[in-house]
Amino acid sequence: MDGVQSLAMRYPWEEPPAAGEAIEVAEGVLWMRLPLPMKLDHVNVYALDDGDGWTVIDTGFSSNKTRRIWDQLMTGPLAGKPVRRVVATHHHPDHIGNAGWFQSEHGAELVTTRTAWLFARMLTLDVQETWPEETLDYYRSAGMAAEVLTKRMAERPFNFADMVYPMPLGFTRIKQDDVFRMGGRDWDVHMGSGHAPEHATFWSRDDDLVITGDQILSSISPNIGVYATEPMADPVAEWLEACERLAPLARPEHLTLGGHKLPFTGLPIRMRQLIDNHHGALARLLDHLDTPKPASDCFAPLFKRSIGEGEYGLALVEAVAHLNHLYHIGSVTRTRRADGAWVYQRKG
């Protein structure tokens, strides 16, 4: 029984740190949390003590509110020692949003992957006051509900620069198989993919810590989406490949520090769950396509719950991702409907 229990997932902390406070999860490693203005209402960030300063992992959305919390953290739990480095696990705004602020205002070095930096800087410079036609075409091709599309078109589009502080030129690259020192430990760098391209994860050589960003989360599956930038992408294949590649590294005793939700142990079983969940979703989706359907009619088999307005956009891009995967592996065909939507049907 003890062996079975040791393989199960466990949550050493039942509650997250309060705003402006920190929990020490290992010697010299602080867990902090920043608010997000969406249904997933937080992002986890970490600080690792380098002696003469801190390395911070991820930074939250760029906003005055978030930076006020960072000021509280730096004078409180970080005890006034400088943040010398910021590591961005991937390019999404809730992770890289304040990296430029740390660089510009605090003289910190930004450490991230080349793809993450290129994507983030490109998107901060690509400000759209009106909807690009390519984005609207993509929404139509996914069968976005007419009322949702009409409402979106009436609003200013979301811009990356709305939530990401201007990023100055210059960063330090990390890549697969690097060994990176922070917090008095050497960390093996392993790349994830699918949720974000070239997503960095860190595996301590000196103790049982793993920093996973959004590649591996404890109680939710990372969003895997397709966007107008690459409408034929297959991020599901990339994500499954990354999970299968990372899974042999996982040990039951690893304390896994993710970008959202609670830290946990029992990483091997969680990796298996994440992989199996997507294979299960693909099987349900294929059964659902005995009759032709667009992406917007595929939420039920993928998510097994009702999707509200606030989740619709993420659900739609994830549905496209799973349909693209089935299309790329030859399990479905697709035809263009009169309204521009692709409809997919199981082969045979």
pTM (predicted TM-score): 0.96
Domains in the chain with CATH codes: 2-128+158-285 (3.60.15.10)
Gap between the Cα atoms of 233 and 324, Å rounded: 7
CA distance 188 to 222: 22
* Beta bridge mates, 189: 202
Q: What is the pLDDT of residues 219-266, one digit of tens each?
A: 999 999 999 999 999 999 999 999 999 999 999 999 999 999 999 999
CA angle, residues 59, 60, 64, in degrees to nearest 5: 105
Predicted local confidence at residue 6, as pLDDT: 52
What is the reported pLDDT for 2? 36
Alpha carbons 186 and 254: distance in angstroms, whole number: 15
Question: How high is the pLDDT of residue 1?
Answer: 30
Query: How far is residue 235's CA from residue 194's CA, in Å, rounded to a whole number?
Result: 4
Q: Determine the pLDDT at residue 305.
A: 87
Q: Residue 165 carries which DSSP code?
A: P
Average pLDDT in the chain? 96
**Do 336 and 245 form a contact (C-beta atoms < 8 A)?**
no
What sign results for the dihedral spanned by CA atoms 260, 265, 267, 273?
negative
Confidence at residue 39, expressed as pLDDT on a 0 to 100 scale:
87
Q: How far is CA 37 from CA 63, 70, 102, 133, 198, in A?
A: 11, 17, 21, 27, 26
Assign 312 to helix, strand or coil. helix
Cβ of 286: how many Cβ atoms within 10 Å? 17
Q: Which of 17, 31, 63, 40 is nearest to 211 (CA)?
A: 31
Q: What's the pLDDT score for residue 306?
A: 87
Q: Is 198 within 8 Å of 113 (Cβ atoms)?
A: yes
Please state the φ and ψ torsions of residue 251, each to the nearest 5 degrees. -125, 150
Sign, CA dihedral 256-257-258-261, equals positive
* Closest to 211 measured CA to CA, from 165, 173, 249: 249
Cα gap 283→325, rounded to integer Å: 12
Residue 9 burial (C-beta neighbours within 10 Å; 0-12, 13-18, 19+): middle
| pLDDT per 10-residue tile (average), the chain, 348 residues | 59 96 98 94 98 98 98 97 98 98 98 98 96 96 95 95 97 98 98 98 98 97 95 98 98 98 98 96 97 97 89 96 98 97 95
What pLDDT sits at residue 310? 85
